[in-house]
Amino acid sequence: DGGITQSPKYLFRKEGQNVTLSCEQNLNHDAMYWYRQDPGQGLRLIYYSQIVNDFQKGDIAEGYSVSREKKESFPLTVTSAQKNPTAFYLCASDTSTGELFFGEGSRLTVL
Amino acid sequence: EDQVTQSPEALRLQEGESSSLNCSYTVSGLRGLFWYRQDPGKGPEFLFTLYSAGEEKEKERLKATLTKKESFLHITAPKPEDSATYLCAVHSNTGNQFYFGTGTSLTVIP
């Protein structure tokens, strides 16, 4: 089945550590996105990529980094510079008509 | 400034009690308005896309409508399995951005 796979589902980080969240899609979509979801807030855009080897910062990119070396993959690294990383992270890709399709999410907790 | 506001924040309905969720938006240029369903601990699931005022889409007990300033998600005779958070998002012409509301948490009581 086509879809977006995020891993791991749950992740724990110690202070000062970098962690990487994986996102893979087999939908052949060009554009991919990373969102952060916190209770009581709408989804906030971290980074997006519309084509391989190109990506743009979203509204809350500080403390995060991404790469887009393959069309299918868009990993997100949460660096030690992100001061409040505990959140639910969602990866998405969009169709040619603009609908976003999401993965199942990764929950990151800082110990 | 582009933004999306959803109301109410939470809604409790008895099974079979129909109601509507509201999504008000301001956007410089609307490419599309989207409704999603999100279950706890899961990613949002796509429901509908609306592109222009007057458009309506239906799926089972759900019907989405669109005006120039807001969208409604009508739920007819809801069942407990309709309990979820419903998210509204707009896709702006400016910078290819999506703007999300904070969602309406729906609980349907048997």
Q: What is the pLDDT along chain A (111 residues), one digit of tens a residue?
A: 679 999 999 999 888 899 999 999 999 999 999 999 998 888 999 999 999 999 999 999 999 999 999 999 999 999 988 889 999 999 999 987 888 999 999 999 988
pLDDT interval class at B97 (50, 70, 90): confident
| pLDDT surpassing 80 at residue B95 | no
pLDDT digits (tens, 9 = 90+) for B4-54: 999 999 999 999 999 999 999 998 888 999 999 999 999 999 999 999 999
pLDDT interval class at B105 (50, 70, 90): very high
Q: What is the pLDDT of residue B28?
A: 85
Instruction: Give me the residue from B4, B41, B97 closest to A42, CB to CB.
Output: B4
Q: What is the pLDDT of residue B29?
A: 86
What's the gap in Å between the CA of A110 and the closest CA on chain B? 17
Give the strand pairing for A44-51 and A19-25.
unpaired
Q: What is the pLDDT of residue B94?
A: 76
Q: What is the pLDDT of residue A15?
A: 84
What's the gap in Å between the CA of A100 and the closest CA on chain B? 7
Beta strands in B1-110 (DSSP E): 3-7, 10-14, 19-26, 30-38, 45-50, 56-59, 62-66, 70-75, 84-92, 98-100, 104-109
Is residue A18 within 8 Å of A80, Cβ to Cβ?
A: yes
Residue with the two structure tokens 């410089």? B28
Q: Do B44 and A102 touch (CB under 8 A)?
A: yes
How many beta-carbon pairs under 8 angstroms link A with B? 53
Q: What is the pLDDT of residue B1?
A: 76
Name the burial class of residue B46, with classes exposed (0-12), middle (13-18) and buried (19+) by CB atoms within 10 angstroms of its CB. Answer: middle
A12-to-A21, A30, A100 alpha-carbon distances in Å: 11, 30, 27
Q: What is the pLDDT of residue A1?
A: 65
Q: What is the pLDDT of residue A96?
A: 78
Instruction: Give me the residue from B42, B89, B98 closest to A105, CB to CB.
Output: B42
